[in-house]
Structure formats: structure tokens, C-alpha cells
């Protein structure tokens, strides 16, 4: 949607070229390039500390890059000039660009002083200027989508972790982003309730929502992703369709990683 109008490479919602991120001496990301097409679901897997969360956080500027280029729906979020300096657009432009992404965090980060409906409708009203009544109506639809219509007036402190994460997904979707970013959405949850969250994400995949998911759930990645990316030491080591990654891993590091997590 709308992507057809952009001039270059309109097929891609997200393009990241040669991303480097240094934390002092440490290179968290080392020349990483990754693009996500409209309607595609990409899962990033890899051992902890491999840079997968950092990469995801570069997309909406929670982490600023050290060099490289990022395009969101063809519009430039970050580029590197000839002197090697990274240039971001002015604050207001950048906020607008980042609002085209929706993010779901490992620890939910819901606003505890707002009820579930307010959590979902707050940003559309404040950022997009949606009429409050309309925003609430849309929020109720999203609550229905994540199966929590009865929690409208309830505060985040009063619901379970799985329910919190489903509200967080609804909150991200409320901004009608072009891409949803998931940062290990189930790793803070008890194993028996990860299912309800994964079910919601699965439904989004079926609806062809563009998604970039960092996850530890291999079974889920295999089932839901169109493409799986394996990262280690701040680099993308291997990528491809799930069957290839899980059934026919080429490089040794991926093989040993899979045998470790799947055993």
C-alpha cells in the first residue's frame, strides 16, 4: 500500500545496507545488509550476543548506527556521507519515519498508568492526530484481533504476561506501520503461555503483515517465516527459506547452533 508510489525499489519496505555498529571497541554489527519485502515475514535467529536485537533496534533508531544506510519504504532514515559521518534527518522527520514501524519488546513496556484501550489509542491520537472516538473504535477492533475484547478497561498490572504481550502487539499495530518489529516477543514468558502470543503473530503472517522477528523459538520461525536469517558475531552468516536453513544448513556454525538449540 502506498509503496507503489515511491520511486526506487518500492517492493522493499526495509533496506539496510552495510550497517556497522560499534560500542567502543566492540563491533556489535559488522557490515550487515538486510532487506525486507512488502508482505514478507523474516525471522532472525542466532546465539545471544550475536547482534540480532541490535540490528532490529537500528530500524527505528533505538540504536544509532556507526555507518551504513537505512531506507524505510524507500525513504532515507540514515546515510553515511563521503567523510564517513552518519546523517539522520531532523528530529520531526525522523519521528515520522520511525512511526512507520511498530515495535514489540521482550518486556512488553506497556504504559502502566493507562488501561489497555488507552495504551493502544494514545499514540494514534497524539502522533497521528486521529480523532479520539475513531482511535478508540480502531483500538477495540485490534483488541478483538488479539482476543482481548474484555480487557478494555483493565490496567496492564492486572493481566498476565501473555495478555500483556498481545496488548503490546495491538499497540504497535494501531499506528498502522509498514513493518512490525518483534524483539524476542516470547522470551520473557512462561513456556505454557507463549502459544497465545505466537498464535497472534501467526495470524498476522497469514494476513501478509510485513514483519521482522528476532526469536529463540525455532519451531515457530520455521513455521511462520518466509525467510530465516542466521546471525553470529555481528554478521549474517547464512540466510534462506526455512526448509533450507533448518533441513540443509550449509555452514558449520549454523549446524552447531541448531544442534545445540534443537537437542
Partner 1 sequence: MEQVYQFFINLFNALAAELQYAKVLMPSLMQGLIVTLKIFILTLVMSLPLGLPFALGSNSRRVIIRIPCRVYIWLFRGTPLMLQLFFFYFFLPIVTGIKLDGFTTAVFTFVLNYAAYFAEIYRGGIESIDRGQYEAAQSLGLSRTQTLFGIIIPQMIKRVLPPISNETITLVKDTALVSVIAVGELIRVARGAVNRDVKVTAFVIAAIIYLILTFVLTLLSNHLEKRFSRHEAQ
Which residues are at the interface with partner 1 (CB under 8 A)? 60-62, 92, 95-96, 98-99, 101-103, 105, 107, 109-113, 122-123, 126-127, 155-158, 171-172, 175, 181
Distance CA 164, CA 72 (A): 28
Closer of 24 and 129 to partner 1 (Cβ): 129
Residue by residue, DSSP assigns 185-224 as TTTTS-GGGHHHHHHHHHHHHHTT--EEEE-S-HHHHHHH
Shortest Å, Cβ 158 to partner 1? 5
Shortest Å, Cβ 126 to partner 1? 5
Shortest Å, Cβ 246 to partner 1? 30
Sign (positive or negative) of CA dihedral 103, 221, 68, 31 = positive
Task: Read off the DSSP letter of residue 137.
Answer: H
Closer of 175 and 218 to partner 1 (Cβ): 175
Shortest Å, Cβ 237 to partner 1? 28
Give the DSSP H or E segment for 124.
Answer: helix 116-127
Shortest Å, Cβ 242 to partner 1? 27
Closer of 104 and 201 to partner 1 (Cβ): 104
Sign (positive or negative) of CA dihedral 183, 184, 187, 193 = positive
CA–CA distances in Å: residue 95 to residues 61, 91, 92, 108, 167:
9, 6, 5, 21, 22
Closer of 161 and 195 to partner 1 (Cβ): 161
Closer of 213 and 218 to partner 1 (Cβ): 213
Closer of 181 and 218 to partner 1 (Cβ): 181
Shortest Å, Cβ 21 to partner 1? 16
Amino acid at each position: 500500500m502506498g509503496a507503489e508510489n515511491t520511486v526506487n525499489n518500492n517492493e522493499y519496505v526495509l533496506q539496510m545496507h552495510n550497517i556497522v555498529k560499534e560500542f567502543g571497541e566492540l563491533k556489535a554489527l559488522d557490515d550487515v545488509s538486510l532487506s525486507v519485502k512488502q508482505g514478507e515475514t523474516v525471522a532472525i535467529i542466532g546465539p545471544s550476543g550475536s547482534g540480532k536485537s541490535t540490528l532490529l533496534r537500528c530500524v527505528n533508531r533505538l540504536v544509532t548506527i556507526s555507518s551504513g544506510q537505512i531506507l524505510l519504504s524507500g525513504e532515507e532514515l540514515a546515510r553515511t556521507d563521503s567523510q564517513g559521518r552518519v546523517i539522520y534527518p531532523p528530529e520531526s522527520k525522523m519521528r515520522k519515519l520511525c512511526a512507520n514501524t511498530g515495535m514489540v519488546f521482550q518486556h512488553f513496556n506497556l504504559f502502566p498508568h493507562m488501561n489497555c484501550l488507552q495504551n493502544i489509542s494514545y499514540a494514534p491520537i497524539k502522533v497521528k492526530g486521529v480523532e479520539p472516538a475513531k482511535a478508540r473504535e480502531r483500538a477495540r477492533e485490534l483488541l478483538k484481533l488479539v482476543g482481548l475484547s474484555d480487557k478494555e478497561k483493565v490496567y496492564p498490572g492486572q493481566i498476565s504476561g501473555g495478555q500483556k504481550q498481545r496488548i503490546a502487539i495491538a499497540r504497535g499495530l494501531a499506528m498502522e506501520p509498514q513493518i512490525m518489529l518483534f524483539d524476542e516477543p516470547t522470551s520473557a514468558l512462561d513456556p505454557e503461555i507463549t502459544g497465545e502470543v505466537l498464535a497472534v503473530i501467526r495470524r498476522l503472517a497469514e494476513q501478509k503483515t510485513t514483519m521482522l522477528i528476532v526469536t529463540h523459538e525455532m519451531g515457530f520461525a520455521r513455521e511462520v517465516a518466509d525467510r530465516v536469517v542466521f546471525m553470529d558475531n555481528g554478521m549474517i552468516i547464512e540466510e534462506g527459506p526455512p526448509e533450507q536453513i533448518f533441513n540443509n544448513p550449509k555452514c558449520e556454525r549454523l549446524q552447531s547452533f541448531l544442534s545445540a538449540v534443537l537437542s
